[in-house]
Amino acid sequence: MPNLLQILFPAKVDYKTEFDFTQFPMTEIVKQNREGLQEVPDWFDRKAMEESCFQYGVPDFIRDKINKPLNDDFTYTDLMVALSRKHFPNKLHYLEIGVSVGKNFYQMLKAVSNGEFTGFDIEEINPVLETKLSFQSKESWSSPRSSIKKTDSSVKTYSFDGNPVRYISGDVWDENSWKKLHGKKFNLIFSDALHSSDAILFEFEMIVKYDLLDEKFLIFWDDLHGKMRKAFLNIVRKYNEKFMIKDVYLIQINGWIGQHENQHPVGIISNIPL
């Protein structure tokens, strides 16, 4: 049976551009997230950057800003924390695709007391982030010859405050990396790796193929500028056909650099009303 989106908008996607933050204790969430960031005075590891594939997704124009303190303006991390506490109070199963230096990932670790956390990035885990985790194990495999990643791929397991943490260092185009997630279910996914229509379509195919979505879920996409907005609306239709989407948002909000750069266009979908 078609849902409301299919009935009213068979050829396009209806989305909301404003989010009601008044339903959440945002003052408490913002305070906690900013205090968590203050625990890490420097996210920049020079050796790791020199050996990286893509400079950990830190372009030159923001490199001098990654350690600057954030004000109280809401970030997408604040919103993810708020939504995870509201909709997944028993347990968060979190997947972040494109971890970068780990500022967003670390805030999620700090803010959620009961969860399982998975990071997925072509880069090795930032040593700054890794010092905050308790190492448990590592498994490696060969990266594809066609990949820009010339070292072996790996999955490392850790713990953080009693919660399991997994970090996959692998190319998101490498299906062998996605296979490592088979059997896992995620109720919150943050997609912030390759910002292209082909990439988010491939992510969708892998998520479906390996049955990675929980019964109730939310997905965030960052940096939906220009052509990525159209790509987002196209991918929403695919998710809707497969999972019956209830809410779609396309909002402007600060990212992990906060007020030190322009607000990001961020897309959010869920199969539950937000």
Encode the chain (274 residues) as per-residue pLDDT tens digits: 455 444 434 446 789 999 999 999 999 999 999 999 999 999 999 899 889 888 888 888 888 899 999 999 999 999 999 999 999 999 999 999 999 999 999 999 999 999 999 999 999 999 999 999 999 999 999 999 999 999 999 999 999 999 999 999 999 999 999 999 999 999 999 999 888 889 999 999 999 999 999 999 999 999 998 889 999 999 999 999 999 999 999 999 999 999 999 999 999 999 999 9
| pLDDT score of 96 | 98
Q: Note every long-range contact of 230-238, with CB atoms under 8 Å and residues 24 or more positions apart, other chains counting.
A: 230/197, 231/196, 231/197, 231/200, 231/201, 232/200, 232/267, 233/12, 233/13, 233/15, 234/197, 235/197, 235/200, 235/201, 235/204, 236/13, 236/15, 236/267, 236/269, 237/13, 238/201, 238/204
| pLDDT score of 6 | 47
| pLDDT score of 165 | 98
Q: Write down all domains in the chain, each with its CATH number in brackets.
A: 4-270 (3.40.50.150)
| pLDDT score of 83 | 98
| pLDDT score of 11 | 47
Q: How many residues does this entry show for the chain?
A: 274
**Contact assessment for residue 256 and residue 223, using Cβ atoms and an 8 Å cutoff:** no
| pLDDT score of 1 | 47
DSSP run (H or E) holding 195: none
Give the pTM.
0.94
